[in-house]
Amino acid sequence: MSSEEQDTALLRLVKDRAEAKRKWTLLQSELQAAAKAFREIGAALQNVNPNMDLKYMRSVLEKHTDVAAPSKLLDMLKEYIGLTDEVSAFDAKAKSLGLD
């Protein structure tokens, strides 16, 4: 492999690694927001009783509809696990090349 090809490969590694870390960080923030939403939903569910104000329960559920779908959360977790593996692989490759 020529020096130019090596430089191109290194640049590609650096760019791919940066992009993976950006996505990973963004997804981490989304999962933390989902955790906060589920804590609020959980708190509302702990107060379920025959005399409760259903308007409050509806408002909590409507507020968090975007993250409350179990399939959405599972998809986010799967993506996070995949990105974690990808970032780890990029980090190991960068370390082996003396970039870290």
| pLDDT score recorded for residue 26 | 96
Task: Place 3 in a pLDDT band, splitting at 50, 70 and 90.
Answer: confident
> Tell me, what DSSP letter sits at residue 50?
T
The pTM of the full predicted model, rounded to 2 decimals, is: 0.75
Class of residue 79 by CB neighbours under 10 A (exposed 0-12, middle 13-18, buried 19+): middle
Tokens 């933390």 belong to: 32
* Residue type at position 1: M
pLDDT tens per residue, range 23-71: 999 999 999 999 999 999 898 888 888 888 888 888 988 898 887 777 8
45, two tokens:
């569910």
How many angstroms separate the CA atoms of 57 and 43, rounded?
Answer: 10
